[in-house]
């Protein structure tokens, strides 16, 4: 049962990051490797809010989300906009985002020091029982929050004008231009929202891990794996993929060894993609037809 | 006769390939122009180069007297130029409804529901498929969806690229009867079409394109400038 | 042989001539200075790795991140077969035959690894392939970590070295190591040139630009890719053998992600697709890495590397070595635009007029 809780928590975190990566990549063709530093920055933002404003959970979450959104805006202005359309821009923007990530992560190292910072338990310490297993409030709180946020993202994508613009962009960039969807404006929206999502998931993850500078890489890698497995641009595919990837992680840690997690997860991707190159989204499409 | 869209000495191409050779074309307000010519001789490139979807351009393109060479495509959409391209450029994973609504993105977003109703009256078959992903539509339905999307805003200039391409004659005819009813007011319509018969009776002027150049201009049978005889004389004079 | 010595331009000849001169000067510095000798060994290893990596990422256009996996795995095997162990019993002196055997064996290990990396390129592309290679490297690390005969967390020490016990940390020893390092770099340069400037390089570039066209004109794309992976990985494996022969030991830190990041920064900053890029990028970033490694705050090292990575990718199209031609092209375009007074510049001066497109 603990495995299940861990799985769902990880799935929530990975899924939120993966949605950001998926939309950025499908919509803009930009593989954002700076989401790692966005993650780290949001953790520090949440911690700073806790220390200097208030330790109310909403404030802490907001600290993470706002800093994440700002980081996304910085990435848009510093990396995407200057390079979009230039020769080799897809490789260059990927590498530039990596460089920005290095600068950011190690600046935090300098400013805040290598010690870990603790973020309070946000959901209180109440426990309750389901089927004989104790579930703490923090784990279930994380799941509930993540579900709400994901639902908000989906609602935003489906009902708002900007949401339609983003979805259109992920389907056909030329068609999007023809109907008046501006790439630069869409990029800003996509990167800010991805940043906010990464920020939110960072705070969720802080309930399990302490904030420290190097925490950025692994979630990024996992987010990438989930995004690819889910099928770029498909939210539903990404959510399902997040669950699969997180389950694989929990099972591997339990039955084999932590060091093999990446291997099993990539084996999972390999198997699914060999069968359906479009990932989980491809499986969904096949069953719909 | 006010000119709404003008290309002067327009050359354009992809990479080192030049496709258009110093084309001059002036489209007047309220005019319906047909571009005819064989496949691969520049009709599509001409329409695309107006939107900027080519690698390079030389010369001048003006909308209402102002140069649009530096304007990116999405702003042109907002300025009222709508290109309905070959290949439709639909959003295959989005529903027909979303595809149509996207057409209102640049313009009257708030009135999109009313607009959509109107478009669905023009293309009733789409009404049955409103919730379906556009990628599952048939060729004719896709064309209708693409046209419908283009009609969701009040465009000044409609650029339509080979709407009959790949369609069965009956469906193409049906599409064209809808196009003929299109109100362009003080705007304009430029239609590239290989099949000249579809242009009979409603196009004001026919421009013949060959080898990336304008090789003939005739009055169409929908115009008041004189009949086919006058047009032939004009042609022999080029 | 003649093809090896032909240079593409006077600029190229100057560059390599300059490198040769620098190497001769460095020899004298290394002679006296133990610290610098250590830097040189690292430079030799990194530059060689990057030259081989450049063949895969630059010439073939395949984003493999298994580089460290190959080097590390081969290094471990090399250390083990030359007598290294967890306890590190100190073998008396280097038996030169042993080292040569290590180099050959590690090359073979590398070649085998290369075949495994190449296999998925039949179907996987782009980021999918990159992720596979990351997974493969992670699997190698995990596999090695579990084997007790490979030292687990302590790694292996006491492996055979180039220098016998009495030569270590002496001036003569440092000179030997200098020339061994130089030989390694030279060897890798030769391999790079033979592949990149030769037929295999041409096939790979064609396949990189347009795979469909390449297959259509009869290029065996799969075989070409297998070839470049096996060749480059064999050399990478051998570099792993050099690693153990320099240090006499190996540990899990060889698989560090930060090292991979640093190497990647080197080839990107230098410029993808040329040997010059590998050398320049390695030299520059290693210089920064070593300069800031001395200071108390290790964070500055990565901040500076990040700044350079960021600045170079934003400002240059093809890295540092591409800068001269980039500037030339820019000046040319400004002049052409000024003369013709056009709104948009035409990309090439000559235009092929092809009707029917």
Measure the CA–CA gap between C22 and C5, rounded to whole angstroms.
19
- Secondary structure (3-state) at A232: coil
**Residue pair C12/C189 in contact by the 8 Å Cβ criterion:** no
Contact B69 C343 (CB under 8 A): yes
Q: How many beta carbons lie within 10 A of that of residue B174, not counting itself?
A: 16
pLDDT reading at A120 higher than 70: no
Q: How many CA atoms lie within 13 A of A149 on its CB side?
A: 27
Distance from CA of A83 to the nearest CA of C (A): 7
Residue among B51, B92, B109 minimizing CB distance to A161: B109
Q: How many beta carbons lie within 10 A of that of residue B177, not counting itself?
A: 11
Confidence band, pLDDT 50/70/90 cuts, at residue B231: very low
Q: How many beta carbons lie within 10 A of that of residue B186, not counting itself?
A: 10
> Over the stretch B69-107, which tens digit does the pLDDT of each residue have?
989 999 999 899 999 998 889 999 899 999 999 999 988
User: Can you give the pLDDT at residue A215?
Assistant: 52
> Over the stretch B3-28, which tens digit does the pLDDT of each residue have?
999 999 999 998 888 999 999 999 99
Confidence band, pLDDT 50/70/90 cuts, at residue A91: confident
Measure the CA–CA gap between B191 and B203, rounded to whole angstroms.
9
Residue of A98, A97, A100, A108 whose CA lies nearest to A45: A108
Chains that touch A (3 or more CB pairs under 8 A): B, C
pLDDT reading at B228 higher than 70: no
Q: Which residues of A fall within a CB distance of 8 Å from B156?
A: none
Give contacts of C 23-42 with B, CB under 8 A.
none
User: Can you give the pLDDT at residue A268?
Assistant: 87
Distance from CA of B183 to the nearest CA of C (A): 33
User: Can you give the pLDDT at residue C267?
Assistant: 93
- Phi first, then psi, for residue A93 (nearest 5°) are -70, -35
Find the radius of gyration of the CA atoms of chain C: 22
Q: Does C339 touch chain B (CB under 8 A)?
A: no
Measure the CA–CA gap between B184 and A68, rounded to whole angstroms.
48
Chains that touch B (3 or more CB pairs under 8 A): A, C
User: Can you give the pLDDT at residue A145?
Assistant: 81
Residue among C305, C313, C314 minimizing CB distance to A102: C305
Question: Which of A276-285, B156-165, C136-145 comes out lowest in average pLDDT?
Answer: A276-285
Residue among C127, C300, C309 minimizing CB distance to A228: C127
Contact A88 C318 (CB under 8 A): yes
Q: Does B73 touch chain A (CB under 8 A)?
A: yes
Contact A225 C131 (CB under 8 A): yes
Give contacts of A 145-184 with B, CB under 8 A.
161, 164-165, 167-168, 171-172, 174-183
**Which site among A157, A169, A175 would you substitute to test the B interface, given the most B Cβ atoms closer than 10 Å to its Cβ?**
A175
Q: Which residue does chain A place closest to C131, by CA atoms?
A: A266
pLDDT reading at B225 higher than 50: no
pLDDT, greater one: A169 or A131: A169
Helix H or strand E encompassing A100? helix A89-112
User: Can you give the pLDDT at residue B100?
Assistant: 94
Q: CA dist A226 to A8, A12, A101, A249, B223, Å?
A: 14, 11, 20, 12, 60
The two three-digit tokens of residue C217, written as one number: 């004109």
**Residue pair A259/C142 in contact by the 8 Å Cβ criterion:** yes
Residues near B156 by beta carbon (within 8 Å), at least 6 away in sequence: B4, B63, B64, B79, B80, B81, B186, B187, B188
Q: Which residues of B fall within a CB distance of 8 Å from C344?
A: 56-58, 69
Q: CA dist B155 to A14, B141, B144, C43, C230, Å?
A: 44, 22, 17, 63, 59
Q: Does C218 touch chain B (CB under 8 A)?
A: no
Chain mean position to CA B184: 12
**Residue pair C316/C326 in contact by the 8 Å Cβ criterion:** yes
Measure the CA–CA gap between C170 and C165, rounded to whole angstroms.
10
Q: Does A276 touch chain C (CB under 8 A)?
A: no
What number is the average pLDDT over the span A160-187? 91
Measure the CA–CA gap between A82 and A77, rounded to whole angstroms.
7
Mean pLDDT of chain A: 82
Give contacts of B 32-51 with A, CB under 8 A.
51
* Winning range, highest mean pLDDT, from A260-264, B52-56, C296-300: B52-56
User: Can you give the pLDDT at residue A177?
Assistant: 92
What number is the average pLDDT over the span B17-43? 91
pLDDT reading at A72 higher than 90: yes
User: Can you give the pLDDT at residue C334?
Assistant: 83
Q: Which residue does chain B place closest to A165, by CA atoms?
A: B102
Measure the CA–CA gap between B215 and B237, rounded to whole angstroms.
11
Measure the CA–CA gap between B161 and B50, rounded to whole angstroms.
12
User: Can you give the pLDDT at residue A219?
Assistant: 77
User: Can you give the pLDDT at residue A176?
Assistant: 93
User: Can you give the pLDDT at residue B208?
Assistant: 92
> Over the stretch A14-64, which tens digit does the pLDDT of each residue have?
889 899 999 998 889 888 888 778 888 888 888 888 888 877 778 888 889
- Secondary structure (3-state) at C327: helix
User: Can you give the pLDDT at residue C125?
Assistant: 75
Contact B73 A168 (CB under 8 A): no
Residue among B73, B98, B101 minimizing CB distance to A178: B73
> Over the stretch B203-221, which tens digit does the pLDDT of each residue have?
899 999 998 898 888 887 7
Q: Which residue does chain C place closest to B12, by CA atoms?
A: C346
User: Can you give the pLDDT at residue A136?
Assistant: 63
User: Can you give the pLDDT at residue A85?
Assistant: 83
Contact C351 B56 (CB under 8 A): no
Q: Which residue does chain A place closest to C261, by CA atoms?
A: A98
User: Can you give the pLDDT at residue A137?
Assistant: 62
Could you give the ipTM of this predicted complex?
0.85
User: Can you give the pLDDT at residue C353?
Assistant: 34
User: Can you give the pLDDT at residue A121?
Assistant: 61
Give the pLDDT of chain C (357 residues) as one tens digit per residue. Answer: 555 566 667 777 788 888 888 888 888 777 777 888 888 999 999 999 999 999 999 899 898 999 999 999 999 998 888 877 766 555 444 434 478 888 999 999 999 999 998 888 777 777 778 888 888 888 888 888 888 777 777 788 877 788 777 777 788 888 888 899 999 999 999 999 999 989 999 999 988 888 888 888 887 888 899 999 999 999 999 999 999 988 888 888 888 888 888 999 999 999 988 899 999 999 999 998 888 876 667 788 889 999 999 999 999 988 898 888 888 888 888 887 666 544 444 444 333 333 322
**Residue pair B235/B217 in contact by the 8 Å Cβ criterion:** yes
- What percent of chain A has a predicted confidence (pLDDT) above 90? 20
Q: Which residues of C fall within a CB distance of 8 Å from B70?
A: 343
User: Can you give the pLDDT at residue C219?
Assistant: 79
């Amino acid at each position: 049962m603990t495995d299940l809780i861990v799985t769902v928590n990880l799935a929530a975190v990975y899924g939120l990051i993966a949605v950001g990566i998926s939309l950025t990549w499908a919509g803009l063709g930009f593989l954002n490797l700076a989401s790692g530093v966005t993650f780290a920055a949001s953790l520090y933002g949440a911690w700073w809010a806790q220390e200097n404003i208030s330790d109310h959970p909403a404030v802490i979450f907001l600290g993470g989300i706002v800093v994440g959104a700002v980081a996304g805006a910085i990435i848009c202005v510093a990396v995407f906009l200057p390079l979009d359309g230039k020769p080799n821009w897809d490789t260059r923007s990927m590498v530039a985002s990596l460089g920005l990530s290095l600068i950011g992560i190690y600046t935090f190292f300098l400013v805040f020091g290598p010690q870990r910072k603790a973020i309070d338990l946000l959901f209180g310490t109440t426990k309750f029982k389901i089927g004989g297993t104790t579930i703490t409030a923090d784990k279930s709180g994380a799941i509930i929050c993540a579900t709400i946020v994901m639902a908000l993202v989906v609602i935003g994508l489906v009902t708002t004008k900007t949401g339609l613009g983003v979805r259109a962009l992920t389907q056909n960039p030329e068609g999007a231009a023809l109907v008046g969807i501006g790439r630069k404006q869409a990029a800003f929206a996509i990167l800010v929202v991805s940043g906010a999502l990464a920020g939110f998931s960072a705070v969720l993850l802080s309930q399990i891990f302490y904030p420290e500078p190097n925490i950025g890489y692994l979630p990024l890698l996992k987010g990438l794996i989930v995004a690819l497995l889910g099928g770029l641009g498909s939210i539903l595919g990404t959510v399902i993929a997040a669950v699969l990837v997180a389950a694989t992680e929990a099972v591997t840690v339990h039955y084999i060894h932590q060091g093999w997690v990446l291997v099993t997860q990539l084996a999972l991707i390999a198997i699914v993609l060999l069968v359906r190159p479009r990932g989980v989204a491809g499986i969904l499409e096949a069953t719909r037809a | 006769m006010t000119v709404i869209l003008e290309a002067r000495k327009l050359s354009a191409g992809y990479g080192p390939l030049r496709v258009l050779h110093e084309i001059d074309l002036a489209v007047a307000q309220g005019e319906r122009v047909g571009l005819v010519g064989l496949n691969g001789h520049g009709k599509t490139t001409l329409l695309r180069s107006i939107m900027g979807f080519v690698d390079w351009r030389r010369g001048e393109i003006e909308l209402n007297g102002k140069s649009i060479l530096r304007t990116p495509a999405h702003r042109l959409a907002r300025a009222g130029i709508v290109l309905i391209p070959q290949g439709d450029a639909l959003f295959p994973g989005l529903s027909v409804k979303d595809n149509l609504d996207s057409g209102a993105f640049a313009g009257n977003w708030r009135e999109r529901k009313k607009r959509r109703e109107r478009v669905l009256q023009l293309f009733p078959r789409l009404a049955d498929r409103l919730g379906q992903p556009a990628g599952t539509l048939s060729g004719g339905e896709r064309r209708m969806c693409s046209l419908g999307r283009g009609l969701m805003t009040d465009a000044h200039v409609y650029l339509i690229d080979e709407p009959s391409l790949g369609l069965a004659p009956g469906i193409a005819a049906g599409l064209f009867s809808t196009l003929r009813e299109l109100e362009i007011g003080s705007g304009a319509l430029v239609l590239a079409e290989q099949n000249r018969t579809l242009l009979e009776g409603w196009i004001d002027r026919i421009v013949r394109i060959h080898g990336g150049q304008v090789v003939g201009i005739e009055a169409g049978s929908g115009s008041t400038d004189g009949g086919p005889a006058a047009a032939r004389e004009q042609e022999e004079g080029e | 042989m003649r093809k090896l010595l032909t240079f593409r331009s006077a600029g190229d000849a100057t560059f390599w001539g300059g490198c040769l001169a620098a190497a001769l000067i460095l020899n004298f510095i290394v002679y006296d200075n133990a610290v610098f000798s250590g830097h040189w060994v690292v430079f030799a290893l990194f530059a060689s790795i990057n030259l081989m990596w450049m063949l895969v990422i630059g010439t073939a256009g395949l984003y493999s991140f298994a580089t460290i996996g190959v080097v590390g795995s081969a290094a471990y095997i090399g250390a083990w077969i030359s007598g290294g162990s967890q306890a590190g019993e100190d073998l008396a002196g280097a038996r030169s035959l042993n080292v040569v055997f290590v180099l050959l064996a590690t090359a073979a290990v590398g070649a085998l690894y290369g075949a495994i990396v190449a296999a998925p390129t039949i179907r996987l592309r782009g980021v999918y392939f990159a992720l596979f290679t990351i997974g493969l490297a992670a699997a190698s690390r995990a596999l090695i970590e579990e084997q007790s005969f490979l030292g687990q967390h302590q790694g292996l020490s006491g492996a055979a070295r180039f220098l016998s016990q009495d030569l270590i940390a002496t001036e003569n020893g440092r000179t030997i190591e200098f020339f061994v390092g130089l030989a390694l770099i030279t060897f890798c340069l030769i391999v790079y040139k033979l592949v990149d400037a030769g037929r295999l390089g041409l096939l790979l570039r064609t396949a990189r630009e347009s795979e469909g066209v390449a297959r259509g004109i009869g290029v065996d794309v799969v075989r070409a890719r297998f070839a470049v992976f096996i060749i480059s990985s064999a050399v990478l494996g051998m570099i792993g053998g050099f690693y153990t022969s320099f240090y006499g030991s190996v540990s899990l830190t060889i698989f560090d992600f930060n090292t991979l990041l640093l190497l990647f920064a080197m080839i990107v900053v230098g410029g993808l697709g040329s040997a010059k890029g590998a050398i320049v990028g390695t030299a520059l970033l290693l210089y920064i890495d070593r300069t800031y490694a001395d200071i108390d705050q290790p964070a500055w090292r990565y901040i500076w590397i990040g700044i350079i990575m960021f600045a170079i990718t934003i400002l240059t199209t093809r890295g540092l070595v591409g800068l001269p031609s980039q500037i030339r092209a820019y000046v040319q375009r400004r002049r052409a635009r000024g003369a013709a007074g056009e709104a948009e510049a035409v990309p090439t001066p000559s235009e092929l007029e092809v009707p029917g497109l």
